[in-house]
Structure 1
């Protein structure tokens, strides 16, 4: 039976010091513990312990380093959330455009287009919940139902799918029958060649998006290794075989960030993902990139080298308008 009792912040600090963690500024530590729970911070000092059973810290372990890891992770989540937003919007746009033209604007309701009809039914149930919530809040959905009150269908895809999550979009795409032309077209436009690879990429990115949205730890976290990598990607990837992630390394965040970078390079060629990641490591020098599965000289690989002369996304000059 669980018998541990609650500790005050002062008792928490005393316990940490007893176990060997250096806390030079106790007043500041109390301030942090007033806003970040002991249990949450524990996910970051766990690796600093030489004895995980008795929670004894390694020599020279510092509370400041724990906070630095926590802050690094928080800023990493914000960075990845921003990157994933661009991927999500692109995927949503392509699903709406290609499938509405190939089929009709209500393709997402047609169970004949999907492999797993049970999974599709669950996806539709989730869509209905999202639309019901939006019906009272989103003016576009509210106006649609008012104007088309006799139409019992969902709003068309360009309205409905704007209300859905990345996870739902990923499920819709992955569950489409392979005979549907748009499934390969979308994969090709995103550099995944065909439908074989893209579903696993989207599933992993959707899961990481959920971690970001719920403020869950990404640093030093094991992730499900389900992604499929292209043997010969049509766009810049990793050339040094030593740096190409192996199957057993897919649990690390790095391979998933590589896939995000690969997609982002297609969606927004002049992105600053590499520069922002390098800035983050410079800001927090005590963070070991290896904890994320990052290779030596990762930033020198073609995948991560950002073009300096790509002006395709820059604002037009007055003379060009």
Structure 2
């Protein structure tokens, strides 16, 4: 790998770290096919060399592109998270100030809330969520939490409680609601299938964790694959439905984020800013040329984005 400016390279290594940057120069390495001597299975192995003309700055530019990508997603996911807090507080708060800790049929579907949190566990999904919620309240340093406890009691009403929930806790709470309530909220965002919307929230929670921990986005494989609606239900989804590989790439999550943000803020320019950023994918000196396909971008994305 060519280092054209040694001082700048050392500066990046000291500030960003070798291991983090190595994820961005890894795709420029050459690979070979190897066969296991015992099983005979074939696999690919990275060699200790790079494609010709690969420069250190190629990795740096990819890193900076990915960093800006995370900043755009942070903005959008914050809007979605806050909007969902409002949805949940209004829907549950109309029935009971403490609906979120009342495991009754009026608020939660017994089959969702009372199923084992994990296979083989006695603890239910509701109890696991309640433990997480109380942990979030206990760890909170917010003035409004201390004020409420000091003036009104230990238990926070739903319209206060939602303000301590993270995206994961919101997703889990939504997944336990009655089907009618899940459908009501999903329809607000233009999704007619509540199961699809529940899956989307789970996947966006995963995306939020990646962003919060500054993890690489642009060419990673997604472990939380979102469910898609039937062909024709949501027009932009059709291209993904017919492309199985795109289900495991981050661009599908970006597209979901786009739809939800536009439903919250109809006049938003967020999706246009993100599109402009994607179109500025950095050029590389390396003979190995990378592009947006590593993110799962569909061929027709500019037509509907």
Whole-angstrom distance in 1 between the partners of 2:146 and 2:249: 43
Which of 263, 266, 283 is the aligned partner of 2:263? 266
* Residues 130-172 of structure 1 deviation map (CA, whole Å, 9 limit, x = unaligned): 11122xx2221111111123xx5x2101101111101100000
Higher relative contact order (CA 8 A, sep 6+): 2
- Relative to structure 1, is the Cα distance of residues 233 and 156 closer, same or farther in structure 2, using a 3 angstrom cutoff? farther
| SS state at 1:238 partner | helix
In the TM superposition, what are the counterparts of 1:104-253 in structure 2 within 5 Å?
Answer: 104-112=96-104, 113-114=108-109, 115-117=112-114, 118-134=124-140, 137-149=141-153, 152=154, 154-178=155-179, 181-231=180-230, 237-238=235-236, 242=239, 246-253=243-250
- Relative to structure 1, is the Cα distance of residues 245 and 138 closer, same or farther in structure 2, using a 3 angstrom cutoff? farther
In the TM superposition, what are the counterparts of 1:30-41 in structure 2 within 5 Å?
Answer: 30-41=10-21
| TM-aligned CA deviation for residue 246 of structure 1 | 2.8
Whole-angstrom distance in 2 between the partners of 1:278 and 1:32: 27
Q: Does 1:59 align with 2:52?
A: yes
- Relative to structure 1, is the Cα distance of residues 47 and 75 closer, same or farther in structure 2, using a 3 angstrom cutoff? same
Name the count of aligned residue pairs: 272
Check the 8 A contact 2:174/2:198 in 1, yes or no. Answer: yes
Q: Does 1:83 align with 2:80?
A: no
TM-score, normalised via structure 1 length? 0.79
- Relative to structure 1, is the Cα distance of residues 53 and 228 closer, same or farther in structure 2, using a 3 angstrom cutoff? closer
* Residues 41-64 of structure 1 deviation map (CA, whole Å, 9 limit, x = unaligned): 111111101134332101111111
Aligned to 2:121: none
Aligned to 1:96: 89
Whole-angstrom distance in 2 between the partners of 1:155 and 1:293: 42
| SS state at 2:30 partner | strand
Q: Structure 2, unaligned stretches of length 5 or more?
A: 32-44, 115-123, 284-289
Check the 8 A contact 1:191/1:234 in 2, yes or no. Answer: no
| TM-aligned CA deviation for residue 224 of structure 1 | 2.2
* Residues 220-241 of structure 1 deviation map (CA, whole Å, 9 limit, x = unaligned): 1000253121226666x328x5
| SS state at 2:24 partner | helix
RMSD over aligned CA atoms reads 1.9
Greater mean alpha carbon deviation, residues 287-296 or residues 69-78? 287-296
Check the 8 A contact 1:225/1:248 in 2, yes or no. Answer: no
Whole-angstrom distance in 1 between the partners of 2:5 and 2:242: 41
Check the 8 A contact 2:228/2:241 in 1, yes or no. Answer: no
| TM-aligned CA deviation for residue 194 of structure 1 | 3.6
Q: Structure 1, unaligned stretches of length 5 or more?
A: 1-20, 305-321
